[in-house]
Structures are given as C-alpha cells and as structure tokens.
Structure 1
Amino acid sequence: MVLVAGAATAAAVGIGDAGPAERTGGDLPPQTAQVTRQTLQDSVEVIGDLGYGAADTAPGWIDGVVTRMPAAGAVISQGQAVYRVDDQPVVLLYGTVAAYRTVGPGAAGKDVRQLETNLKALGYQGFDVDDRFSAGTAAAVRRWQRALGLPQTGRVELGQVLYAAGPIRIDAVTAGVNQPTGGGQPVLTYTGTGRTITVRLEVTEQRLARVGVPVTVRMPDGTETPGRVERVATVVDEQTTGDAAPTTMIEVLVSLRDATAARGVEAAVVTVGFTAAEHVDVLTVPIAALVALAEGGYGVEVVDGSATRYLPVRPGLFAHGRVEVTGDGLAAGMTVGMPG
C-alpha cells in the first residue's frame, strides 16, 4: 500500500499533454528504465529457529518420590514409561484428551474411549472401544497393569498415564530423582518429535503466511528444502525495558516436508522464503516510473528518441521495487521515463 501511495503522489499529467512532443536535452526525463517481461514474486525471506516447537508441561499427580527420570532429548513412544514414581511407571499413551480423573468400572466419556483405543493398539482385547468402561475394559486394564508391574486394580489412577498426540521428546526435566512429586507440580516439559521452524513476521507481512501454503527453507549448509505453514498466530511481545509499547507480531510455525533434511541438526537458525503471489511472464517497470494521470489512473512516459508520450497502464502486482503493468501499445523493450 505504501508503494501504491508513492506512485499516486507523482505529478498529475493529462493525456492531452501527452502528444509526442519533440524534446531535446533537459526536456527529456532525467532517467530512464526498460519495460521488461519477467516473473514477478511478492516474496520475502526471514530468519527462523529450527527446533521441535513449543514445549508442553507434564504435571505430576502421583504422590511419591521420583525414582527415575529420562534425560533431555530422550524419545518416548506409546506404552513406554515417561518417568517413575516410587519405582512405578507413569506411562505415555496417545490422545488429545488430557488425563483429568481416575477412570474405572462405570466411568463413561471421551477419555474412556481414548484409553480403550490405546489398550487395543497395545494388543489388549476382550472389550469394545466405546465411551463405556466395561468389565471387559477393567480386565484388560488389569492385564496391562500386570505387564507394567503395577497393582492390578482394574482402574487407571489420575497421573498414571500422560496423554500426548504422538511420540514425545523430553525437552527439560524440572523434578529430579529423589525429589517429591504430586499435587500437579511440574515434572518435565516435552515436545513432539517432528522438526518445526518458528518464524516471526511483521503485521504488515501477514499476507505471506497462510496455513497450508508452501515455503522454501534454506538450511545452515545452504541446501534448500520445501516446507509448509502449519500454524499462524498473533502474539504480543511485552517490552521489558523503558516505556515502549508492546509489539504485535505474527508467529508462524513451519514444518519440513522432508524430515531427513534436518538430520543431525538439533537446533539452528534457518532462512524461510515466503511467496504471497507470483505472476508469470508479465510486463514490469520500476515503481517510480508510474505517474498519476489527471483524468484518473496511472501511466508511464514512453521515451522514443527525442520524443515522449504518456501511455495509460493498469498496475498489477507490486514487488521488489517493480510493478506489473498492462496497457494497449505497451511492449517489452520500451524505454520509460523516471524521476531524477
């Protein structure tokens, strides 16, 4: 929008003034440029942080003493122990409903279906996967508990499982071995195992980032790999010094199409290329070549030897100092006037 406004402030001229007047020397435009045919992209490259995305916190609900804790960077999958309290495992299961209660015979709800889905995936049978905790579910839970070395109660206590969308990677440990836990106090933080890139854009660049659009990621070694915008959110950065107002930014989460592109790279600064629009094989001129016409619209001053004339044009895509233009009689290779 600023670029368009800049063009609109050029001195207004009329087509009636645009007859091919013969000019010489100082009467001609002080500078000229060529009309070119090219592919014009509204694009920008920004710096991003390659990592594993935002970390979630695992609260400890089982009262006791931490007897085993994973190391940062460890990857844990469905059915495996995340950590141990009083030498009993807190187990990772998959799902989007957080564990919020003890479930046992007679319980019903989405969390019951989620538990049964996990039991089925782990090879346990004898129950229907539904929203009801049946006697068959309780029997399967007892078999699962026996395999884990847990008391065979047939119910799952709050805090005995941690639900996550998939495999997790331990980000940081907040409760060490030999320390007490319980009451929902933080035990550790974790992320998913997929590689993600976090980018922050100015609000004026929000057009570049839409969920699902492709991007190009340049790795630290210079290689390029495709990515995809997964999430776009507005965030506010609170200023920590002075009286500066908070800054609103657009936070973009990008995934890598080929996860192997980040193999061996734990964390790094990468360059992400966003393209909001691409117009192929169009005529372009420098933005400064646009002039506002007195009768409305825009034109360019075509220079032909010692003569000039104003040709009406319709601006299109603005990008990287140039603008797409269309108009009768306009052709690649023409010379247009520019301000000094």
Structure 2
Amino acid sequence: MRRSRAVALGVLALAAVGGAGFATAGLGGGHGSGSSGGPKVPATASVERTTLTETQKVDGTLGYGDTTSLSAASSGGGGGGRGGSGSGGGTITWLPSPGAKIARGEAAYRVNNRPVPLLYGKLPLYRTLKAGVTGSDVLQLERNLAALGYGGFDVDKEYTSATADAVREWQDDMGMDETGQIAPGTVVVAPDEIRVAERRAQVGDRASGPLLTYTGTTRVVTIDLDVKYQRLAKIGATVSIDLPDGGSTKGTISDVGKVATQAKADQPTTVKVTVEVGRRRSLGGYDKAPVEVYLTASRHSSVLAVPVGALVALPGGGYGVQVVSGPSAPVRTVKVDTGVFAQGEVEVTGSDIAEGTKVVVPA
C-alpha cells in the first residue's frame, strides 16, 4: 500500500532513537499478546514500499496580505500598482469602517457629502479625462463604465462625446457633480475589490493626506522566508498549513518576492512569499493569526520504510531492526542503512529487508 508522509527537515536519527532503546513514534502494526502462561508476542509493523516527503517548517501569518495607504491628495501610492488616488480639499463626511469591503462603483469615502467611488485599474488618475483626450487611462475608465452597465461608446483609448455622455449618466446615478469629466481626486483607483484595514482620518477632517489603509479581500498566508530556503518556494507548489485551532489545510504558492530584506542585523535575510489558501472555509474567522507552513523539500518515491520506533541502536554503531519471521521463530536483529526520516517513518535498506517483512515496534 502506498502512502505519502511529510516531516520537517533536519529530523535526526538521534531524535528518533534514544541510546540503545526505542523512540516513541510510528504506526500501529499487528499488535498481539501471548496467552497468560506463554511468552508475550511483540507488536509488529510491516516494511512498506511508499513515498516519503521531506519538508521544511516555516512560520507564516494568515491575513489579508500587505496593506496599501489611500491618500486624499495623492495621485497614487504604494508599489506594484496597488496605490490609490483620492480627493484633495473639502471635508470628509463619511469613511468606511475597518473590515468593510468596497467593490467597483461603490464609494470609498465621501467628501463634502459627495461620493468618491472606486474604479479598477493600475493607472492612477493623474490628469483630467475629458472629450478629446486619448490614452491607456481612457481605456481603463471606459472598461469600468462598461462593467458598471453604461454604454453608447466604443471601449478604446479615445474619450469622445459619447464617453462624456456615459460619464454624466454615471455621475448622476452616483450623486456626483455631472461634469462629463473625470478629474484627479474624484475617484479612487485600485486593482480590484478592496477591504478596509484601518482608518487614518476621522469624519470632519480635511480631505488631505492618508485617509485609510486597505488590503485585498482574500485571506492569504504570507511568509518572511529565510533566503536559505528560497529554493523550496516555487510558484504553483502545494504546501500544508497548520492552523491555530489545530486543523490544517492546503495552499498554493502564488508569489515569491524578488527583493531580499533584513529587518535587523541579528536576523536572517528574507524574501516575502505569498500562499493562496484552497479551502477557505477551513480558516474560520481568523483575521490575522500565526500559522506553520510546510514547504516540500524533496520526494523519495518507492522506498522501503518502517516506523521510526522500529530502529534500535547497535552496540558497534549504526542501526538495526528486530525481524519477526513467525509466531514461534526467534526475534533476530538485522542491521539496516537508514535514508530519509519522514513523520514517524524512516527509509531502510538491507540484505534481509524486503516489503512485507515484520519488524518489532514498541507496544
């Protein structure tokens, strides 16, 4: 029977076997007991042919990823296209609460009781868009208008009178000034739906400077990964995640940072790794919580393995297992060479070891 096992790298034989005795680990085998008057039959397990997987355990944080600051008097901020453009001047009359999610076309905040809606894109609004203007920012606006259900114009890089008509209709529906133009500060631009992380201003403040921070809306695991393990972090690779409540789930590495940083002189240099979580229902209500992530280091296919507890330390050095040939046959110790250790099992080779061989394990 094939099974896959995983464990953190660096599991040593010394940790598996104490002195000349047994370790407390392993799988259940064929357990038995002798009659009240006869010798006790040892508990056994069969040598299996299986796949052992080595992993490296690292610390991660379950949350909504990096935060980005949204500023009222800014034409964009933050790296990687995650900055927002906002409104400068006026008085803040409404701000969303932390945890609120804001989608395309919804107000990110209000100034002078006028909404400043969210549009999706990568280009900040750096100039006034009006009839006669052309460029990628026009295309970005028209794609948003089309997604919001407005039409009558070609979705291209030209801001025509038809585009202006659609903008006026949208502004009217939103309760904005019906100018037919989009000026810097009248919309917020972000790549996708956002989730408010923290307020940086209060209702009644002047609409200038940082107003709030936001994240994406999907929970992810972020890892500040020691660069010595960077080779283990491959985009698309599957990882296991241990959750604070004792449960576990699977995830997929979606991004590996290209910039290494060192927070303090006595701390390791790290790169940021992002893991998307597959079964999000398994995450419960955690907003931000520490988790343990297991990165796959290597897989050893079709190897012979026994429970780690089956190993005995030999007087002359090395390890062996106690082989049981039959109910009445004497137990004999057979020297083995050990390979990879993986969560309760260890790869073994030896002239007297074959698949199905019965070995003694601690009861």
What TM-score, normalized to structure 2? 0.68
What is the rounded CA distance, in whole Å, between the counterparts of 1:176 and 1:80 in structure 2? Answer: 19
Change (3 A) 1:175 1:322: same
Change (3 A) 1:263 1:163: farther
- Counterpart of 1:121 in structure 2: which amino acid? A
Change (3 A) 1:123 1:321: closer
Report Cα offsets for 1:235-270 as digits up to 9, x if no partner.
31332xxxx356311321111112222242222222
The answer to whether the aligner puts 1:272 opposite 2:293 as a matched pair is yes
Report what 1:235 is aligned to: 260
Contact 2:131 2:160 in 1 (8 A): yes
How much has 1:328 moved relative to structure 2? 9.7
Report what 2:274 is aligned to: 253
Give the counterpart of 1:143 among 162, 169, 172. Answer: 169
The answer to whether the aligner puts 1:159 opposite 2:185 as a matched pair is yes
Is the partner of 2:144 in helix, strand or coil?
helix
What is the rounded CA distance, in whole Å, between the counterparts of 1:107 and 1:324 in structure 2? Answer: 69
What is the rounded CA distance, in whole Å, between the counterparts of 1:329 and 1:102 in structure 2? Answer: 81
Report what 1:41 is aligned to: 53
How much has 1:317 moved relative to structure 2? 6.7
What is the rounded CA distance, in whole Å, between the counterparts of 2:104 and 2:253 in structure 1? Answer: 27
What is the rounded CA distance, in whole Å, between the counterparts of 2:268 and 2:239 in structure 1? Answer: 25
Report what 2:247 is aligned to: 223
How much has 1:302 moved relative to structure 2? 9.7
Change (3 A) 1:323 1:108: farther
Report what 2:30 is aligned to: none
The answer to whether the aligner puts 1:70 opposite 2:96 as a matched pair is yes
Contact 2:226 2:268 in 1 (8 A): no
Question: What stretches of structure 1 of length at least 5 have no aligned partner?
Answer: 4-29, 287-299, 304-309, 336-340
- Counterpart of 1:133 in structure 2: which amino acid? Y
Give the counterpart of 1:196 among 213, 216, 220. Answer: 220
- Counterpart of 1:275 in structure 2: which amino acid? T
Q: What count of residue pairs does the alignment treat as equivalent?
A: 289
Report Cα offsets for 1:119-162 as digits up to 9, x if no partner.
11111111010111111101100111111222211110102111
Give the counterpart of 2:150 among 124, 135, 160. Answer: 124
Is the partner of 1:176 in helix, strand or coil?
coil
Contact 1:139 1:154 in 2 (8 A): yes
Question: What stretches of structure 2 of length at least 5 have no aligned partner?
Answer: 1-8, 11-18, 23-46, 74-87, 309-317, 322-334
Contact 1:168 1:192 in 2 (8 A): yes
Is the partner of 1:180 in helix, strand or coil?
coil
What TM-score, normalized to structure 1? 0.72
Contact 1:230 1:253 in 2 (8 A): yes
Report Cα offsets for 1:2-59 as digits up to 9, x if no partner.
99xxxxxxxxxxxxxxxxxxxxxxxxxx9899xx654221212233211100011112
Report what 1:295 is aligned to: none
The answer to whether the aligner puts 1:187 opposite 2:211 as a matched pair is yes
Contact 1:302 1:334 in 2 (8 A): no
What is the rounded CA distance, in whole Å, between the counterparts of 1:275 and 1:222 in structure 2? Answer: 20
How much has 1:323 moved relative to structure 2? 8.4
How much has 1:167 moved relative to structure 2? 1.4
The answer to whether the aligner puts 1:52 opposite 2:78 as a matched pair is no
More strand by share: 1
What is the rounded CA distance, in whole Å, between the counterparts of 1:201 and 1:322 in structure 2? Answer: 27
What is the rounded CA distance, in whole Å, between the counterparts of 1:327 and 1:137 in structure 2? Answer: 78
Is the partner of 2:93 in helix, strand or coil?
strand
How much has 1:118 moved relative to structure 2? 0.8
Report what 2:6 is aligned to: none
How much has 1:64 moved relative to structure 2? 1.3
Change (3 A) 1:265 1:245: closer
How much has 1:223 moved relative to structure 2? 2.2
Report what 2:121 is aligned to: 95
How much has 1:197 moved relative to structure 2? 0.9
Report what 1:86 is aligned to: 112
Contact 1:209 1:276 in 2 (8 A): no
How much has 1:319 moved relative to structure 2? 6.6
How much has 1:181 moved relative to structure 2? 2.2
- Higher RCO, Cα 8 Å, sep 6+: 1
Change (3 A) 1:322 1:150: same
Q: Could you say what the CA RMSD is over the residues aligned between the two structures, in angstroms?
A: 3.6
